[in-house]
């Protein structure tokens, strides 16, 4: 029998995925979750205008999507006050991170990021043979100074930071990000992941010129716009870097429904303002549920809240597992000391009620399991 001859790089990769999806978890459990609060999706859903636009485009699904994403790209350029040549649209930030790594990383290249930061970025770096250098969080924030110091020491191809960050939902002012850009070493590209920035306090969006060749900024319709399943993300960067994506990207990777939905969502500013209020209300609800149970909610600049369970990672894992037993899906940070927390996504009232109902027993059972 002939075998596919994998590249040595792929043959050496572990067979794991960065996140096991909630649908997979449901199949494994043999029953659905009643509260889907673990994947930082937006349970409030997309703008009704986006839904209508996607429904209207459904009948056109026989056509490939516009390979240039022309209308969305132009609208995004107008929205950000830059040229369409500064904008690349792709299959979510995740897809774009994969393309970016393909453009820049070959085996042995170094990359700097925070330990416990967004794992899908690490997955792509490793997938192209890059070497990750991970710096610890400081006070539950990603640490710009430590990241810059490491970058100055080793001159990585990429320096990744997410603002606000996942999994802690902490944030730095946008000016701190702009200052970071001004200090990245020559030859290093800063990757600023702003997946949650529309939900963050005023001033979190970094004041960065899209023509600055030292940085690429990633945005998504998955979070504030509630379109995670439509898979629409985009990046803002220097035109030369944007043009390079055309050499390797899947030109027909976007579907017409997603393109139409994202365009309508971008135009519906009223819904976005409403969403900011809904998410803020939900953050407060999660914080209150945590406090009612003697736990400490961390401040959040995103559509999820990291809740300090007051002990170590094993205890937080036990809480997470007990919540899952009660059909409430949450996730948690993977690296100490942030792994003392569980991470709860914002969502509508029924989900919040399910969380509030399940948490006291889940905590009691977790305490029984981990005495001491
Ligand atoms: C920091 C960060 N970046 C990117 C993503 C993924 O974005 P997208 O859905 O556009 O791939 C997430 C999703 O959880 C995230 O937390």
Position of tokens 């992941």?
Answer: 193
User: What are the structure tokens assigned to 327, written together?
Assistant: 């059909």
Cα–ligand 1 centroid distance for 134 (angstroms): 19
d(CA 120, CA 99): 12
The three-state secondary structure class of 372 is: coil
Strand partners, 135: 114
d(CA 298, CA 169): 8
- pLDDT value, residue 195: 98
Neighbour tally for 295: CB within 10 Å:
19
Q: Which tens digits make up the pLDDT trace of 127-146?
A: 999 999 999 999 999 999 99
Question: What integer is the mean pLDDT of 49-72?
Answer: 97
Q: Which of 18, 95, 118 to mutate to test the pocket of ligand 1 (most atoms within 8 A of CB)?
A: 118
Q: Which tens digits make up the pLDDT trace of 31-54?
A: 999 999 999 999 999 999 999 999
d(CA 124, CA 166): 17
Cα–ligand 1 centroid distance for 269 (angstroms): 21
User: What are the structure tokens assigned to 108, written together?
Assistant: 């042995």
Q: Which tens digits make up the pLDDT trace of 106-127?
A: 999 999 999 999 999 999 999 9
- pLDDT value, residue 372: 60
Q: Which tens digits make up the pLDDT trace of 212-244?
A: 999 999 999 999 999 999 999 999 999 999 999
User: What are the structure tokens assigned to 81, written together?
Assistant: 């006050």
The three-state secondary structure class of 15 is: coil
b vs e for 162-186, b when ≥16 Cβ sit within 10 Å of the residue's Cβ?
A: bbbbbbbbbbbbbebbbebbebbee
Cα–ligand 1 centroid distance for 221 (angstroms): 9
Cα–ligand 1 centroid distance for 231 (angstroms): 10
Q: Do the Cβ atoms of 105 and 130 come closer than 8 Å?
A: yes
- pLDDT value, residue 3: 87
Q: Which tens digits make up the pLDDT trace of 73-89?
A: 999 999 999 999 999 99
Strand partners, 341: 308
Strands (E), 185-325: 189-193, 215-220, 233-236, 296-297, 304-308
Question: What integer is the mean pLDDT of 254-269?
Answer: 98
State the chain's mean pLDDT as an integer. Answer: 97
pLDDT for residue 371 is more than 90: no
The top-level CATH class assigned to 48-267 is alpha beta
Cα–ligand 1 centroid distance for 121 (angstroms): 9
Torsion angle of C-alpha atoms 247, 181, 164, 131, degrees rounded to 10: 60
Position of tokens 């899952």?
Answer: 324
What is the position in ligand 1's atom list of the atom closest to the CA of 118? 1
Cα–ligand 1 centroid distance for 229 (angstroms): 12
Residue 344, phi then psi, degrees to nearest 5: -115, 125
pLDDT for residue 285 is more than 80: yes
Distances (CA, A) of 74 to 81, 88, 89, 199: 10, 10, 10, 23
- pLDDT value, residue 18: 79
What is the position in ligand 1's atom list of the atom closest to the CA of 302? 16
Question: What integer is the mean pLDDT of 282-290?
Answer: 98
Q: Which tens digits make up the pLDDT trace of 144-153?
A: 999 999 999 9
Domains of the chain, residue spans: 16-45+270-369, 48-267
Strand partners, 159: 112, 190
Q: Do the Cβ atoms of 308 and 230 come closer than 8 Å?
A: no
Q: Do the Cβ atoms of 315 and 370 come closer than 8 Å?
A: yes
Q: Do the Cβ atoms of 54 and 211 come closer than 8 Å?
A: no
What is the position in ligand 1's atom list of the atom closest to the CA of 117? 1
Residue-wise DSSP of 227-265: -GGG--EEEE--HHHHHHHTTTS-TT-S-HHHHHHHHHH
Query: Chain-centre distance of CA 109, in angstroms?
Result: 24
Q: Do the Cβ atoms of 40 and 345 come closer than 8 Å?
A: yes
Say what percent of the chain tops pLDDT 70.
Answer: 99
> What is the H or E stretch that residue 88 is in?
strand 87-90
Do 16-45+270-369 and 48-267 share a fold? no
Q: Which of 41, 89, 94 to mutate to test the pocket of ligand 1 (most atoms within 8 A of CB)?
A: 94
Topology of the domain comprising 16-45+270-369: 3.90.1150
Of 159, 172, 240, 168, residue with least CA distance to 207: 172
Query: Chain-centre distance of CA 357, in angstroms?
Result: 28
> What is the H or E stretch that residue 35 is in?
strand 35-36
- pLDDT value, residue 1: 65
- Tell the residue nearest (CA) to atom 3 of ligand 1: 195
């Amino acid at each position: 029998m002939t075998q596919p001859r994998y590249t040595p790089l792929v043959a050496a990769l572990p067979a794991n995925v960065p996140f096991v999806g909630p649908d997979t978890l449901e199949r494994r459990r043999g029953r659905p979750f009643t509260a889907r609060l673990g994947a930082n999706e937006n349970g409030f859903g997309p703008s009704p205008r986006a839904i209508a636009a996607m429904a209207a485009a459904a009948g056109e699904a026989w056509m490939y999507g516009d390979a240039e994403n022309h209308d969305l790209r132009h609208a995004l350029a107008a929205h950000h006050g830059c040229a369409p040549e500064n904008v690349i649209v792709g299959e979510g930030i995740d897809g774009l991170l994969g393309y970016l790594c393909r453009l820049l990383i070959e085996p042995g290249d170094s990359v700097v990021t925070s330990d416990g930061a967004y794992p899908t970025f690490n997955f792509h770096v490793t997938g192209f043979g890059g070497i990750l250098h991970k710096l610890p969080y400081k006070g539950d924030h990603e640490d710009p100074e430590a990241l810059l110091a490491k970058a100055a020491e080793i001159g990585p191809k990429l320096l990744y930071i997410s603002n606000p960050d996942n999994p802690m939902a902490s944030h730095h002012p946008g000016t701190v990000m702009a200052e970071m850009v001004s200090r990245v070493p020559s030859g290093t590209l800063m990757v600023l992941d702003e997946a949650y920035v529309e939900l963050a306090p005023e001033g979190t969006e970094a004041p960065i010129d899209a023509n600055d060749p030292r940085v690429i900024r990633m945005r998504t319709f998955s979070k504030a716009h509630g379109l995670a399943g439509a898979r629409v993300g985009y990046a803002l960067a220097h035109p030369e870097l944007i043009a390079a994506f055309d050499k390797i990207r899947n030109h027909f990777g976007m579907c017409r429904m997603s393109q139409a939905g994202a365009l309508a969502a971008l135009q519906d500013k009223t819904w976005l303002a409403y969403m900011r209020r809904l998410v803020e209300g939900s953050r407060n609800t999660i914080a209150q549920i945590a406090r009612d149970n003697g736990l400490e909610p961390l401040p959040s600049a995103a559509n999820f809240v990291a809740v300090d369970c007051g002990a170590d990672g094993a205890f937080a894992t036990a809480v997470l597992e007990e919540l899952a037993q009660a059909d409430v899906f949450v996730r948690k940070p993977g690296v100490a000391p942030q792994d003392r927390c569980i991470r709860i996504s914002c969502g509508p009232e029924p989900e919040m009620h399910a969380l509030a109902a399940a948490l006291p027993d889940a905590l009691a059972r977790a305490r029984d399991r981990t005495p001491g």
